[in-house]
Structure formats: structure tokens, C-alpha cells
Amino acid sequence: MPTEFLARRYDTAQFARIRLDGDRVVSATALADDEATRVNAAAKSAGPLPWVSPGFVDVQVNGWGGQEFSSEEITPEQVAQITREHFPFGVTSYCPTLTTHSYACLAHGLAAIHQACETIPEVAAYVPGIHLEGPFFSTEDGPRGAHPKEHCQRPDWNAFCRLQDAAGGRIRILTMSVEFDESAEFVAKVTASGVCVSIGHTGADSAHIRAAVDAGARMSTHLGNGAHRMLRRHPNYIWDQLAEDRLTASLIVDGHHLPPEVVKSMVRAKTPERIVLVSDVSGLAGKPVGRYAMTSGLELEILPDGRLVIAGQDQLLAGASLPIQYGIANVMRFAGVDLPTAVAMASTTPARIIDAPCGGLRPGDLADLALFHWSPGDTTLEIAATISHGKVVYGKLSTAV
């Protein structure tokens, strides 16, 4: 049955009547002046209509609510539960992300996600691919971040192929260090297999980064994080990646991982067209303040201000606890970009990077949409409804005023 609702377009700020049929947008027609006036008047008493935009595409989600994807216990049903728990965030596609762990753990987690995609329709609709963050990482403190040293290893094509087999071919992004002599050859093989290689958790010098990009690397993972606490002034691997126009940078703009001035500088340097917003939410996201033992052997802590850190200190972050709508609101406040630009960073741009479907408001576009309330200066978007493939999976629609 066709669906119709009223909302305010994120790209033009016009009030519009949106019509859906099945999983497609039929039209998004601006209201006539007299009807728009009536909607404005009604909004004063009934509350404003929500904005509508493409649904958000989060390419770095480590889990939620106490469950990580990097786990030897995770089941397809738990993958589905994590998927459903992202409905209230306006997310319509995401990449389950596995971080450095033992081969047995990674293989099990990858297989569970693959099985969920094969057997649970809502997971298949939401998961265009998997992000593997590691295990081909530097063992050096700083770049390694919270990834366990004992499981970090040099690039190994056979090891990657075994993991891709466990995933049923669903790995779409590989984050890796590129300072090894064999990195460029490995990047070329992974890229040729159809996987996006992203540089991250690296201590690479300028020559290694240039060689990796020449070999096919296309992205930088959470640029500015997973780095030494003290860097030489220049050159260094952050400057190198900022200056490399062939790299799109993902940023965690939760207010904890990067100061506002750094976000502003990075957005200006890369240009918004080469920025992807990610949440990097940990498996602990959604849990209350406290200390938690992880399957990796680390003990992590959620602080009262929302930061997720290695337990016992307040500086070494270990993932994030806030979903992606916080990053969208924050990048507008920090970098001065407008709403259409911020939304693109969290929807069309990441979808393009992994060649995945994305919602839109043109006739024939996929009806993957987010509806939200937002005003300039807000620290988050208040999600009113999420539409996946034309179906309302969270909230409700404004059908009349």
C-alpha cells in the first residue's frame, strides 16, 4: 500500500508531501504556498514537522548494548538485535565492524554476520558489507590504540582470504597499517578483490602512505585517532593523509575523539566531499557508566561524560558510545557546514565509498529515509522516524496537519 506523509526537506528546507510505493520514493512535492502557511501555523501548536533526509549509512559499528561483533559467542539472532537497536538512530545501512582479535574469534563473528544476512531479511536489508578493522596493525603503542598487541600481525594475504571466506565474501572495508614493506603489494591484492582499503592505526611514514595510495587505498579510518600521543611537527602521517586527495577521511565527531578546532581544520583541508562521518560505537555503547571486562582481555570504562576509555585513566579512548546523529549535529557546530552537507557525510558519501544503496528524495530513489527534529546549535538530531525499504521501522509519520 502506498505511504504518504509530510516533512521538511533537508536539502531545500521546503515543506513537502512525500509519497512512497513499496521500497521506492514516488515523489517529494513541495507544498503550495497556502498549504505551507497552514502547516507553519499548525506547527506552532502541534509541534514542527520533522526534517526528512536519506537514511544514515554508518560504516563503523562495533556492536551495541553489551554485545560486540568481535566475539566467539555472537549469534545471528544477536546480530539482528544489534541491527534493530540502530533503528532509533536514523541508520538504514551499517557495516558491522570486527576489531583485532584471534583468528577463531574473527572467523566466528564474520560467519555469524554472514549467516544473519542469509537468513534474517531485516539484517540483509541493513548490512551492505562488513568492516574488518585489523588484525593487520602495528604493534606499537599509540597507533595500536586499544587493539590487543598479541593479535596484531603483518599483512598476510592467505590470512585475509581465510577471513573473507568465513565472511562469505562480505568484507567491504579493511582497515590496516601500511608501514610494512609488504603493505603496498597487499593493498593492491585486497583492492583488486573488490574491498576498500582504509589506512588506520598506523605509524607509517610519507613514502609508505604514498605507496599504499598508489596501490589502491581509498580511505583513512577515524583520522586523528589511533595515533601516537606525541607526533613530530612535520612531516607526519596525519598531515600526509590530509593532503592526499585520493583518500576520503572518516571522522568520529562525537565531541570526545576530536576537538572542534581539529574537526573544522580537517573538514576544510579534505573538503566535505571527502569526509565520512562514523560513530565507531563500541559493543559497550548503550550501557550505563561503569567498568566492563571485554573478551579481548581489556578492561574498559564508560565515564560519566560518555567517554569510553581503557579503564583506570581518562585519555586513551576505546571506541565511542554515541550514535551517528550526534556526529551530524556536531559537524555543523564545529565546522560550520550546513545541514545538506552534514547529512551527505553520513549517507551518500559513505554509501558511495562501499558502492552500497542509499536513500534519497528523487522519484525512484530507495525509500531509506530518516526523519528528525533539529535546530541550529543542537548537539544531536532527535530522530522522529526511520524508514527502511519503504517500511517504518521506528517512530511514526506525520500524515496530516
User: Taking every pair of C-alpha atoms in the chain, what is the biggest distance, in angstroms?
Assistant: 67
Tell me: do 35 and 145 sit in the same domain: no
Asked whether residue 401 is assigned to any structural domain, the reply reads no
Cell of 40: 507553519
**Residue 304 within any structural domain of the chain:** yes
- State whether 215 and 339 are in the same domain: yes
pLDDT per residue as tens, the chain (401 positions) = 789 999 999 999 999 999 999 999 999 999 987 787 787 677 666 679 999 999 999 999 999 999 999 999 999 999 999 999 999 999 999 999 999 999 999 999 999 999 999 999 999 999 999 999 999 998 988 888 889 999 999 999 999 999 999 999 999 999 999 999 999 999 999 999 999 999 999 999 999 999 999 999 999 999 999 888 888 889 999 999 999 999 999 999 999 999 999 999 999 999 999 999 999 999 999 999 999 987 667 788 889 888 888 888 777 787 799 999 999 999 999 999 999 999 999 999 999 999 999 999 999 999 999 999 999 999 999 999 999 999 999 999 987 55
Query: How many other β-carbons are positioned within 10 Å of the β-carbon of residue 22?
Result: 12
**Residue 16 and residue 51 in contact, taking contact as beta carbons nearer than 8 Å:** no
Let me know if residue 329 belongs to a domain: yes
Domain shared by 210 and 107, yes or no: yes
> Does 167 share its domain with 221?
yes
131 & 170 share domain = yes
- What pLDDT was estimated at residue 401? 52
Positive or negative, the CA dihedral 335, 341, 342, 347 is negative
233 and 367 inside one domain? no
Structural domain includes residue 205: yes
Determine the pLDDT at residue 135: 98
Of 348, 344, 317, 349, nearest to 328 by C-alpha is 344
Whether 48 and 160 map to the same domain: the answer is no
- Kindly state whether residues 261 and 380 are assigned to the same domain: no
Q: What is the pLDDT of residue 312?
A: 80
CATH of the domain at 44: 2.30.40.10
Indicate if 257 and 391 belong to the same structural domain. Answer: no
> 132 and 28 share a domain?
no
Tell whether 300 and 382 lie within a shared domain: no
Cell of 159: 590470512
Which pLDDT score is estimated for 36?
A: 74
Query: What is the pTM assigned to this prediction?
Result: 0.95
Residues 380 and 319 in one domain: no
Domain count, the chain: 2
Contact present, 196 and 165 (Cβ < 8 Å)? no
Domain membership of residue 40 as a residue range = 3-54+360-395
Cα 327 to Cα 86, 219, 252, distances in angstroms: 15, 18, 7
pLDDT of amino acid 240: 97
Residue 400 forms part of a structural domain? no
